[in-house]
Amino acid sequence: MEQNNTQDKLIQALQHALEKERIEEFRNSFLDLHPYEQAQFFTEIEPEDRFKVYTYLSPEEISDLMEHIDLEDIEAFFTEMDPSFAAMVFSDMATDDAVDILNEMEKDKVASFLTIMEKEAADEIKQLLHYEEKTAGSIMTTEFISVYKTQTVKQTMDQLKKEGPDAETIYYMYVVDEDKRLVGVVSLRDLIISDFDTLIEDIMNEKIVHVSVADDQEDVAHMIRDYDFLAVPVVDFQKHLLGIITVDDILDVIDEEASDDYSKLAGIADVDRPDGNSFTAAKKRLPWLIILLFLGMLTASLIGQFENTLNEVGYLAIFIPLIAGMAGNTGTQALAVAVRGLATGEYGNSGKLSLILREAGTGLITGTVCGIVITVVIFLWYDNFYLGLLVGISIMAALVVATLAGSLVPLLMDRLKIDPAVASGPFITTINDIISILIYFGIATAFMNLLT
């Protein structure tokens, strides 16, 4: 509570300094904040106050806070800046962060910024911009330290002092041969404990894990998670060292992929932002809803095919929502387990088979238990054993099939190289509605004599 009060007072002081145009007072207080806190303050102030901030801070100071603003929001800030000032901000940013922002912009804006940017910074950014989005190449940084295997420890330490301030990380240095091919890695600890005249090739670790520039960013995230790396090197097909991907970039990837999967599971194109308008939100949701609308019409059409059955035993309609709802619920549960396992890379071929067998067993157990319970309840409620047995068998069969569908559909999509999260909750629920209704009325029609 005390910390929040202190923070509120600081924000008020910053706002007051801006209003009174007290430049030094503002700079001293603002630069004492963490860049994340700076970004929070910056995004909440009015546009006229932001224009003052642009004049009070240097491009380098602005670049630090820009790296902590959501990509969805950041383009508006660069657009409102003076173009020359914005170009200098891009030049001072980490290359991979600048590329992430530019990838969100229209091509003519990107070309404009690159034209007026410092040549060296522009060239580095151009190298990364041509890589396909969501690949290792698109998220890597070229600000790393590489050393030759023929260097001595002393030469490497001197290089580290010179290049360290501009590098993303100095805890690991990547070792290359004379053709710039990756051959090993040496840690800062290895350098500190070794004699100055020791050659790098004598202390480097040759068992180095790397990723290809074309690898999917999600696969890279899994690797860094599994190996507990702070960074991983990126190479081309000839093993030339091109860049590195650091753990802070991977955290952004994990957040992005999780948001993407969540939106697909919810049956929308993208997660709605709280500050978005109704038209934008509706536009994202409508495509899936239209598809589900036609699938729902198919469900209604199927019920119509069993019109004679319903006419003879009208109370069968009472249990349609029960059976469809149970099938949809269990299918969604199985779907969530399957999609999560595929997203985290937990399943190999044997793991997928184990998942299918486990879900089949789970569906059989849950279906049997629910079937017995509903049979007893309906028998006591309607005093009709055959009706209870019909609904019980239908629920058991529907739960088994729905559970298998919930696990098999994402596995099939993964096999076809389609994002398994596309097997969204609404989609699998509707499919299971169709399956459960076919099962229910199929069994009811077969045993009509017992019901009448």
Q: What is residue 285's predicted lDDT score, i.e. its pLDDT?
A: 64
What is the pLDDT tens value at each position of the chain, 452 positions in all?
Answer: 445 566 677 788 888 888 888 899 999 889 988 888 999 999 989 889 999 999 999 999 999 999 888 877 888 899 899 999 999 999 998 888 888 888 888 888 888 888 898 888 888 888 888 888 889 998 898 889 999 999 999 999 999 999 998 888 889 999 999 989 999 999 999 999 999 999 999 999 998 999 999 998 888 988 888 888 889 999 998 999 999 999 888 887 877 776 666 555 555 555 545 445 677 667 766 776 677 677 777 777 767 777 776 666 666 777 888 888 888 888 878 877 787 777 666 666 667 788 888 888 998 999 899 999 999 998 888 888 888 888 889 889 988 988 888 888 888 877 777 666 655 566 777 777 888 888 888 888 877 777 66
Burial of residue 368 (CB within 10 Å: 0-12, 13-18, 19+) is middle
Residue 137 lies inside a defined structural domain of this protein: no
Taking the CA atoms of the chain, what radius of gyration do you get in angstroms? Answer: 30
Residue 138 lies inside a defined structural domain of this protein: no
Report the predicted TM-score, pTM, of the whole model to 2 decimal places. Answer: 0.59
The tokens describing 225, both together, are 């998670």
Q: Which of 260, 292, 311 is the last residue of a domain?
A: 260
Residue 417 lies inside a defined structural domain of this protein: yes
In this structure, the answer to whether residues 334 and 386 fall within a common structural domain is yes
In this structure, the answer to whether residues 308 and 173 fall within a common structural domain is no
In this structure, the answer to whether residues 235 and 153 fall within a common structural domain is yes
pLDDT digits (tens, 9 = 90+) for 221-254: 888 888 888 899 999 989 999 999 998 888 878 7
In this structure, the answer to whether residues 228 and 294 fall within a common structural domain is no
Q: Which of 204, 231, 260 is the last residue of a domain?
A: 260
In this structure, the answer to whether residues 332 and 428 fall within a common structural domain is yes
Domain that holds residue 347: 278-451
> How many domains does the chain fold into?
3
